[in-house]
């Protein structure tokens, strides 16, 4: 990537001032989170994709640190530094550099060092209203900077959660599918495994041990596993403790006793993540797909998530967001694991689909992951200012 010119620096600085002006006039407090962050925290919460692209280093005292790959987590840490419980409503804005590894050194729209101008809203009671406010303000800031034509793409990880929770399966399988949702190939492989009696069987384990392990009595599992290892002259080698080994074997034993997931249920989930539609048509598509597959007693959660989706669209329109041409993708949001609900990105026709000028969403678990004692409602978004500048070059966008 060629070095930044003084002209670009001046243009980016002027652009950042315009964006921050929009945010601060809307009541967002301008903050400057630290650039150097504790690596362990980031690597735990950002997900596999971003984890592999984070610059990590050790200081002379051996502390593992990183250059922040985004500004959301640092802003969460700043908020918790002020309010340890995290439950005090607050709205912040920021503008500053972030750092991500890019194969080949990157290019003008995917540089290794780039600027984010964004907003974060914590502890707002009305989730859909806060979602709409954030999208509306980001769209307004982009228009103020000169990006008149914008295309909105949305997803909703809460809909996936509600669907999985409404389908009959053990709770641990739901947790597993939630965890693997972020990695499409692993997700499909797990669905295939759950539908196969052979794959669920405890291969390589003595049947007497499988029969003896009782998932309802985990406290006894370690002693059973220790006795088995002693009798078989198996030494405890490696980093896993006896308790960790016993926990994994309990899961294997429990799976071996389960009836496999119906193929129809796995196919429904695969069909769900393939849904693409205009934004307004998504609820009808989801209801048509799940009709008859979700029992009446389990449908309430999915119905509530779909109602929240519809309400959010109404609030987005009231916030001045142009929904003409807006699209929905059921699998959108798989790149950052801290998202828990509504997600979005704003595209410019002058850049490719892999280079959105802005994006964000809801992350109700992140503050707890960072240190709050309980989950806190939170939503935010950032503008990739180099991309915005690229989209604006050469005349009105």
CA nearest 44: which of 66, 24, 62? 66
The pLDDT assigned to 221 comes to 64
Q: How far apart are CA 239 and CA 274, in angstroms?
A: 39
User: What are the pLDDT digits (tens) for 130-170?
Assistant: 999 999 999 999 999 999 999 999 999 999 999 999 998 99
220-222-223 Cα angle (round to 5): 70
| pLDDT score of 127 more than 80 | yes
Confirm if 137 and 26 have CB atoms less than 8 A apart. yes
pLDDT tens per residue across span 5-20: 666 888 899 999 999 9
Question: CA–CA separation, 272 vs 254, rounded Å?
Answer: 27
Write out pLDDT tens, residues 79-98. 999 999 999 999 999 999 99
- Map out the domains of the chain with their CATH numbers: 6-149+373-392 (3.30.930.10), 197-257 (no CATH)
Please tell me the predicted confidence (pLDDT) of residue 258: 81
Task: Look at residue 201 and tell me whether its pLDDT is greater than 80.
Answer: no
Question: Where do the DSSP E strands lie in 172-318?
Answer: 276-278
Summarised one tens digit per residue, pLDDT across range 235-274 is 666 666 767 676 677 677 777 778 999 999 999 999 999 9
Instruction: Please give the pLDDT value at position 2.
Output: 45
Within 10 angstroms of residue 259's Cβ, the number of other Cβ atoms is 10
**Per-residue pLDDT at 382:** 97
Neighbour tally for 315: CB within 10 Å:
19
Q: Judge whether 225 and 246 are in contact, CB under 8 Å.
A: yes
Residue 291's SS3 state is coil
Binned at pLDDT 50, 70 and 90, residue 180 comes out as confident
pLDDT band, residue 396 (cuts 50/70/90): very low
Residue 334 has pLDDT above 80, yes or no: no
Distance CA 280, CA 327 (A): 8
Virtual CA dihedral for 66, 41, 98, 154, nearest 10 degrees? Answer: 150
Contact predicate 260/193, CB 8 Å: no
- Considering 60-69, 207-216, 333-342, the range whose residues carry the highest mean pLDDT is 60-69
Mean pLDDT of 49-62: 90
d(CA 125, CA 285): 29
For residue 219, what pLDDT is reported?
A: 67
- What residues contact 346, with CB distance under 8 A and at least 6 apart? 138, 139, 142, 150, 151, 152, 153, 356, 357, 358, 359
What pLDDT, on a 0 to 100 scale, did the predictor assign at position 4? 56
**Rounded CA gap, 69 and 42, in Å?**
9
Predicted local distance difference test score (pLDDT) of residue 1: 41
Q: With bands split at pLDDT 50, 70 and 90, how would you rate the model's confidence at 229?
A: low
Q: Give mean pLDDT, residues 333-359.
A: 89
pTM of this structure:
0.86
Residue 203 predicted with pLDDT over 70: no
Q: Convert 74-97 into a string of H (helix), E (strand) and C (coil).
A: HHHHHHHHHCCCCCCCEEEEEEEE
The model's confidence at residue 395, banded by pLDDT at 50, 70 and 90, is very low
């Amino acid at each position: 990537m060629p070095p930044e010119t003084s002209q670009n620096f001046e243009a980016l600085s002027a652009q950042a001032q315009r964006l921050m002006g929009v945010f601060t006039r809307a009541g967002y407090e301008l903050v400057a989170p630290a650039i150097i962050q504790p690596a362990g925290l980031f690597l735990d919460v950002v997900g596999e994709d971003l984890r592999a692209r984070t610059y990590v280093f050790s200081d002379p005292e051996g502390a593992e640190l990183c250059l922040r790959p985004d500004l959301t987590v640092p802003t969460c840490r700043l908020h918790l530094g002020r309010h340890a419980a995290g439950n005090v409503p607050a709205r912040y804005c920021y503008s500053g550099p972030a750092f991500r590894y890019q194969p080949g050194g990157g290019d003008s729209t995917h540089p290794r060092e780039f600027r984010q101008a964004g907003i974060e809203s914590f502890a707002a009671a009305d989730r859909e209203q806060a979602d709409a406010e954030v999208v509306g303000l980001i769209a307004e800031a982009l228009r103020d900077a000169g990006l008149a034509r914008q295309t909105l793409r949305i997803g909703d990880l809460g809909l996936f959660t509600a669907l999985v929770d409404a389908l009959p399966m053990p709770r641990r399988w739901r947790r597993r599918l939630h965890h693997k949702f972020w990695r499409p190939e692993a997700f499909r492989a797990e669905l295939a495994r759950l539908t196969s009696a052979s794959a669920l069987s405890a291969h390589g384990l003595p049947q007497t041990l499988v029969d003896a392990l009782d998932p309802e009595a985990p406290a006894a599992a370690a002693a059973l596993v220790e006795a088995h290892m002693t009798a078989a002259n198996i030494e405890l080698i490696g980093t896993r403790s006896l308790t960790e080994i016993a926990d994994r074997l309990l899961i294997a034993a429990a799976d071996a006793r389960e009836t496999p997931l119906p193929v129809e249920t796995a196919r429904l989930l695969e069909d769900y993540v393939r849904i693409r539609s205009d934004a307004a048509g998504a609820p009808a598509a989801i209801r048509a797909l799940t009709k008859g597959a979700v029992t009446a007693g389990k449908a309430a959660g999915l119905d509530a998530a779909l109602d929240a989706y519809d309400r959010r669209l109404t609030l987005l329109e009231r916030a001045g967001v142009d929904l003409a041409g807006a699209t929905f993708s059921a699998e959108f949001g798989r790149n950052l694991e801290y998202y828990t609900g509504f997600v979005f990105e704003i595209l410019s026709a002058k850049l490719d689909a892999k280079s959105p000028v802005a994006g964000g969403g809801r992350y109700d678990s992140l503050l707890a992951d960072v240190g709050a004692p309980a989950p806190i409602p939170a939503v935010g978004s950032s503008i990739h200012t180099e991309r915005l500048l690229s989209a604006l070059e050469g005349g009105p966008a």
